[in-house]
Structure 1
Amino acid sequence: MKMENNDSEQQQQDVVGLYFLELWRLNSKKASLKLQDFNHQNPPQNVDDDDMEFDDDDDESVPTELDTVNSSGGFSIVLPDKLTVKYPSVNLHGHDVGVVQANYPAPIKRLVYYFELHVNNAGAKGQVAIGFTTHGFNLRRQPGWEANSFGYHGDDGYLYRGQGKGEAFGPTYSTGDTVGGGINYASQEFFFTKNGHVVGTVRKDVKGRVYPTIAVHSQNEEVTVNFGKDPFIFDIKAYEATQRANQLTHIDKIPISQTASYGIVSSYLQHYGYEETLTVFDEATKASVPPITYQNNGLNEHNMYALNHRKILRQLIRDGQIDDALGKLREWYPSTIQEDTSAICLMLHCQKFIELVRVGSLGEALDYGRTGFEKFYKVKEYEDFLMDCAALLAYEEPIKSPTGYLLEDSQRENVADAVNAMILSTNPILKDKRSCLHSYLERLLRQLTACYLEKRLLNGNQGEAFHLRRVLLAKNP
C-alpha cells in the first residue's frame, strides 16, 4: 500500500513538472516567432499566450472597393475608381435596381465595423440605399427587400429588413448627404448614420457574413463609397469609446466585497512564496479590511504550506544559485528530485547549464553538458529542450541567438514557479494536486478569458477578440 502511495505521488509530481516543461516549449515557440519577425526586418512583436491564440485577428480581408465582377445586369455603372456608382438610364420596372456589394464581407473580429456613402446626385427619385446583404444576394433587389438583408433607404427614410415593406426609421437623405452603415458586434446590432449622427439601430439577426452594400434606382443617381481610406464624417472612434465605456459601466455595477479582493491578492502572494510582501500587505490592510477566516472561504487550502522554504528556493533560483537550490531540495523535499530524470530535475540541471553560459563560463558549461545531461539524452521528449540549451554554445553572443530567451529572467521565473508548484504538491492535505499549478487570481483571469470566448462563440465567433495582456496594460480601457 505504501508503494502505491509513492507511485501516485510521483505521478502527481510528473503532472506538475510536465506542465512547466510545456510552458518552456511555448516560450521557445514565441522566441522563434520573434526571430522570424526580426529576420524579415519587421519590428519584433510582443507575442503572448493569448496573442498566439488570437493571432489571426489582423488576417481578415477588409472591404476596400466595390465588386465589379458581380453585377446587377447593367442597371448601374461602377466608375474607374471602383468606389463610385451611377444609374445611367430610366428604370422601367421595380426590379431594375442597381445593387453593388463590397469586394469583401465586413470583418467580424472587431468591436465595430463601419462604412459611408456620399450622395453625389439623388437623380430623378432619390431611391438610394445603404445596407448589408449576404453572399448570393439578388442584385436586382434593394437591400432589405430580400431575406437576410437590411437597408436604410433615402427616398422615404425607411428601414427594410428582409421584406418589401419598410418601417419608419430615420430622415430621408438626398444630394450632398453622407450616410453610413455599421455593425456593433458587442450589442449584435446594425446601426445607420446621417451626416455624422446615429439615426437608429436594429437587431442583427442575419446569419453568416454580410457585405456592405449600396443601391441606386433612378436616372442620374450617383454615390461614392468610403471604406475608410478617407476620414469618415461620423466619429467612429468616439462611438467605439462610448461602447467600451458602456461595457465598463455594466462591469463596474457588479459588487465585489473588499474582503474578497484582499483574499485573492493575499492568496497570490502566498501561492508564489512572497513572504515579505505578504507580511507588508497584511500590515497595510489590517486597519481597513476585516480579518478573513481562510478555513471557511476555501482560499487557503495549501498556500501557507512551506511558505518560508518556497520563498528561499525562489530567491536562490532567481539569483542563479542552482546548486544551492538543489541542496535545499535534497534536504527539505527529497521526494521531489528522487527520480533523477524527472521533468523538474531536467529544468534544474538545464538552468545550471544556462547560468554557466550567462556568466561566460563556456568551457565549464560544455563539460557540465556532457556529464549532467547524459541521463536525459535517453528521454526522447527532452530532445528539444537539450538542443535549445546546447545551441547557446554555438554563438559568440548567446543572448542574440535563437535560444537567447533562455538567458532572460523569465526563464528563471519559470523554473522557480515549477519548483514552487512541486513543493506545494507534496502537501499531504492537498485534495487536488493540480490546484498547485495556479493561484486563485490566475484561475479567475482564466475564467474571465473563458467567459469572453464563450460569449464570442454564442455570437457566431463575431466580435472583438479578448487579449488579457492588452486589457491589463491598457491605460485607457
Structure 2
Amino acid sequence: MASTEFLPSYLLHSPINRYKKNLYNSFSLPTHWNSADCWPYVTIIDQDNLKVEYNGPGRTSSDAAAIRADKPIPPEVGLYYFELTVLNSGESGCIGIGYCKSDVDLNILPGWVYGTIGYHGDNGRLYRERGTGEFFGPCYNAGDTVGCGINFLNMEIFFTKNGIHIGKEPSFYFETFSYDDLINYRILGEMYPMSGMATKGECIVANFGTKPFMFDIDNYAKVIFADAELKRELEKKTFKMLEIINTEV
C-alpha cells in the first residue's frame, strides 16, 4: 500500500509532508502484521492481519514468540506511533510491545536481544537489548491499550498506556536523522513495530493508524515537529552569525 493511500493524521505536520510532499510517493508505512515474519507459536486470526494470538506451549522463556509488521518505519517521517489493545492476557500476561531490526530472531519477547526494545505487560519493565529489564511503568493486561512511538528527531522511544504518556527512553540509540537529513530524504537503517507473547490464551489487536488512537498523537506530533523546526532555525541563525564573525576576524 502506498503511503499516499495511508497517511495517519499526525504525519500531516511532518517535515517531509511540509517541505517535500512528493516524497510520500516513494515509501510506505507499516499497516498490518506480517504472517510470514513471525515465530510459529503466534497466529494471525483476522482478515485484516491485526489480531494475533499465542498458541505455543507457554512453559518457559524459550516458548516466547514475536511478530513483525509488514514494513519498516521510514525514519524520514520524523515520528512514528502504533498501539496494541490486549484482548486476553492469558495465563500470565507475558505480552510485549516495541521495535526491532529486520534480522532479529523472533523466538523472544521485545527487548530481550540486541536490536530490540520492549515494554512488558506482566511486570511493567522496559527491556533494552537484554533479558533483564528495569522498572519503567504500570503493568497492563486485558482491556488495556498500550502504545509505542519513535521520535527520530530526538532519538527517543516513548510508551503510552490507555492514552497517557508514561515515559521515554533516550538511551536506546539507533540510526537517526538531523532535521535537515529528514528534509533531504536520507534513509538510514530499519526499525519494525513488533509484539510478543509467551503464555497460553494471550491475544492482542494492533492499530497502525487506520483508526483513531487512544493517545493524542496528533497534538504530540505538532509539538515535536514545531520544536524541531525552531531548533533548525536557531541553528541556521547561529551558523550565519559565526560566518559574519569569521569574515570580520
* TM-score between the two structures when normalised by the length of structure 1: 0.41
| 2:45 counterpart letter in structure 1 | L
Residue 55 of structure 1 deviates from its aligned partner by 4.0
| 1:147 counterpart letter in structure 2 | Y
The secondary structure found in structure 1 opposite 2:225 is helix
Conservation of the 8 A alpha-carbon contact between 1:180 and 1:192 = yes
How far apart in 2 are the matches of 1:121 and 1:225? 13
Residue 160 of structure 1 deviates from its aligned partner by 0.4
1:215 alignment counterpart: 196
* Residue 101 of structure 1 pairs with residue 85 of structure 2: no
Residue 252 of structure 1 deviates from its aligned partner by 7.8
* Residue 158 of structure 1 pairs with residue 132 of structure 2: no
The one of 223, 226, 237 aligned to 2:207: 226
2:10 alignment counterpart: none
2:87 alignment counterpart: 120
Gaps of 5+ in 1: 1-49, 261-296, 299-477
1:237 alignment counterpart: 218
Conservation of the 8 A alpha-carbon contact between 1:151 and 1:161 = yes
1:132-171 residue CA offsets vs partner (Å, 9 max, x unmatched):
0111211101111100110010111111010001011111
Residue 92 of structure 1 deviates from its aligned partner by 2.1
1:453 alignment counterpart: none
The secondary structure found in structure 2 opposite 1:160 is strand
Residue 109 of structure 1 deviates from its aligned partner by 1.5
Residue 96 of structure 1 deviates from its aligned partner by 0.7
The runs of at least 4 aligned residues of structure 1 exceeding 4 Å deviation read 248-254
User: Structure 1 residues 103, 253: closer, same or farther in 2, change over 3 A?
Assistant: closer
User: Structure 1 residues 248, 56: closer, same or farther in 2, change over 3 A?
Assistant: closer
**Which structure has the bigger radius of gyration?**
1
Conservation of the 8 A alpha-carbon contact between 2:146 and 2:160 = yes
The one of 161, 173, 177 aligned to 2:140: 173
User: What RMSD in Å do the two structures reach over aligned CA positions?
Assistant: 2.8
2:44 alignment counterpart: 78
- Between Structure 1 and Structure 2, the one with more helix by share is 1
Conservation of the 8 A alpha-carbon contact between 1:57 and 1:109 = no
How far apart in 2 are the matches of 1:133 and 1:244? 24
How far apart in 2 are the matches of 1:235 and 1:160? 25
How far apart in 2 are the matches of 1:245 and 1:200? 20
The one of 24, 27, 33 aligned to 1:60: 27
Residue 251 of structure 1 deviates from its aligned partner by 6.5
1:315-360 residue CA offsets vs partner (Å, 9 max, x unmatched):
xxxxxxxxxxxxxxxxxxxxxxxxxxxxxxxxxxxxxxxxxxxxxx
| 2:73 counterpart letter in structure 1 | A
How far apart in 1 are the matches of 2:229 and 2:69? 33
Conservation of the 8 A alpha-carbon contact between 2:35 and 2:43 = no
The secondary structure found in structure 1 opposite 2:204 is strand
* TM-score between the two structures when normalised by the length of structure 2: 0.76
Residue 206 of structure 1 deviates from its aligned partner by 3.0
How far apart in 2 are the matches of 1:80 and 1:240? 30
How far apart in 2 are the matches of 1:147 and 1:251? 32
How far apart in 2 are the matches of 1:56 and 1:249? 23
How far apart in 2 are the matches of 1:103 and 1:129? 18
1:422-468 residue CA offsets vs partner (Å, 9 max, x unmatched):
xxxxxxxxxxxxxxxxxxxxxxxxxxxxxxxxxxxxxxxxxxxxxxx
Aligned length, in residue pairs: 211
The secondary structure found in structure 2 opposite 1:206 is coil
How far apart in 2 are the matches of 1:225 and 1:216? 14
User: Structure 1 residues 251, 137: closer, same or farther in 2, change over 3 A?
Assistant: closer
Query: 5 Å matches for 1:349-364?
Result: none
How far apart in 2 are the matches of 1:167 and 1:249? 34
Residue 236 of structure 1 deviates from its aligned partner by 1.0
1:72-101 residue CA offsets vs partner (Å, 9 max, x unmatched):
12x111113311111135412211112110
Conservation of the 8 A alpha-carbon contact between 1:111 and 1:240 = no
How far apart in 1 are the matches of 2:123 and 2:139? 5
1:172-228 residue CA offsets vs partner (Å, 9 max, x unmatched):
111111001111011011111111111111134135311100011111111000111
| 1:165 counterpart letter in structure 2 | T
2:6 alignment counterpart: none
The secondary structure found in structure 2 opposite 1:151 is strand
1:206 alignment counterpart: 174
Query: 5 Å matches for 1:304-453?
Result: none
- Between Structure 1 and Structure 2, the one with more strand by share is 2
Conservation of the 8 A alpha-carbon contact between 1:63 and 1:106 = yes
How far apart in 1 are the matches of 2:123 and 2:75? 30
1:147 alignment counterpart: 114
Conservation of the 8 A alpha-carbon contact between 2:95 and 2:109 = no
User: Structure 1 residues 253, 205: closer, same or farther in 2, change over 3 A?
Assistant: closer
How far apart in 2 are the matches of 1:155 and 1:206? 26
How far apart in 2 are the matches of 1:175 and 1:242? 31
